Structure 1
């Protein structure tokens, strides 16, 4: 049995300090093991985005602990959080978050440049990823000239640039047409089959069904349902 790469213990997150509103997360305990593809489902306001932000170190729990890849994320200062995200987290967003004034290749290279990787090593890794994800022919192209599905593939390549142990995806098919969404679903499934640990927040039940080995549902900040796909190991 593999060790948990994500462990949350009694996590509470409250944005309203007056105590009159319900918490975004309430006493959440969660473990995700290396190699899992976990889909987090739930209605708007259920706590999905809060959970993702806590794991990414973009927010802090009001109480409780968040540990990712052996790092106590809730204890890190701002500089250490930036280093944590560069080294351990790859993030894919609904609206891609690519830099339009950079080429595809330069967008993919950016995480390695921020981490101080040599130009030669970074370019070799970028070439490998762009070829693997089917966007190598667009290396000198600017993102605005690509389709939505192609831009999301570039975003995934950028997220994987520093070989992060954990890939976080926030509604990765939410801005895509049907064909592009199916393409991204297949891509995420392939990455997980190769061993990449993935946590994705989504309303797309087809995405969860296609590439998640496990699905949880949040309801009003509480873990409501935890389902392991038939045949998946825990």
Structure 2
């Protein structure tokens, strides 16, 4: 993955196939970094480039297209639409991207089956456990085969067993080549899933540790 940068003071490059865990106290800049990469915030200086796209130069319409095509996002509290079924939540990114209905349906069924929630396809998210909802959120994030998966505290709202399941899923996805950037306070997630860990302190890069030193 080409460089994602935040100024002033430091540059960050995330390569294709990496799983990068971003650690740091509240207020250290973790969410800001995630928002810059997603195009939700704009840098006051410097640049952000993802998969060859200069994100900081995009207008609003182009940013929406960029997020649909190149970014999958998973949130701590799932951000599923409770008035849509599980299947319809997963299909939503494909519909916004104009994917053909047959292809989208096949892709959604494949993801729900793989993530172990196919039996809930017609169920509404509010009836599922936290772990099940996070699996649905992962399926939705992966729907358009994004080059980069962003995960914001993906285990933060889960019990121990569900958190372990999500850690295993993210590790498996990365082993298959999915590039992942995750913000977390879950050191077990960083130790299990990440091929590299960075720590932010007061908006600056404090530590950058390769997997050999983490595991």
TM-score for both structures, normalised by structure 1: 0.90
Q: CA deviation at 1:49?
A: 0.3
Alignment of 1:116 with 2:98, yes or no, is yes
Query: Which of 65, 81, 88 is the matching residue for 2:70?
Result: 88
Question: Given that residues 8 and 28 in structure 1 are in contact (C-alpha distance below 8 angstroms), is that contact kept between their aligned partners in structure 2?
Answer: no
Gaps of at least 5 residues in structure 2 are none
Give 1:41's aligned residue.
23
Give 1:21's aligned residue.
none
In the TM superposition, structure 1's runs of 4+ consecutive aligned residues that sit over 3 Å from their partners are: none
Q: In structure 2, how many angstroms separate the alpha carbons of the residues matched to 1:90 and 1:112? A: 12
Q: In structure 2, how many angstroms separate the alpha carbons of the residues matched to 1:160 and 1:28? A: 30
Query: Which of 173, 176, 181 is the matching residue for 1:191?
Result: 173
Give 1:158's aligned residue.
140
Alignment of 1:8 with 2:1, yes or no, is no
Query: Over aligned residues, Cα RMSD in angstroms?
Result: 1.2
Q: CA deviation at 1:8?
A: 3.2
Q: Where does 1:162-173 land on structure 2 (aligned, <5 Å)?
A: 162-173=144-155
Gaps of at least 5 residues in structure 1 are 13-25
Query: Which of 85, 108, 113 is the matching residue for 1:131?
Result: 113
Alignment of 1:101 with 2:110, yes or no, is no
More strand by share: 1
Question: Given that residues 100 and 144 in structure 1 are in contact (C-alpha distance below 8 angstroms), is that contact kept between their aligned partners in structure 2?
Answer: yes
Q: CA deviation at 1:6?
A: 3.8
Query: Which of 191, 195, 199 is the matching residue for 1:209?
Result: 191
Q: CA deviation at 1:28?
A: 2.5
TM-score for both structures, normalised by structure 2: 0.97
Give 1:75's aligned residue.
57
Query: Which of 191, 206, 209 is the matching residue for 1:227?
Result: 209
Question: Given that residues 37 and 197 in structure 1 are in contact (C-alpha distance below 8 angstroms), is that contact kept between their aligned partners in structure 2?
Answer: yes
Larger radius of gyration: 1
Q: In structure 2, how many angstroms separate the alpha carbons of the residues matched to 1:133 and 1:181? A: 14
Q: How many residues end up aligned between the 2 structures?
A: 214
Give 1:50's aligned residue.
32
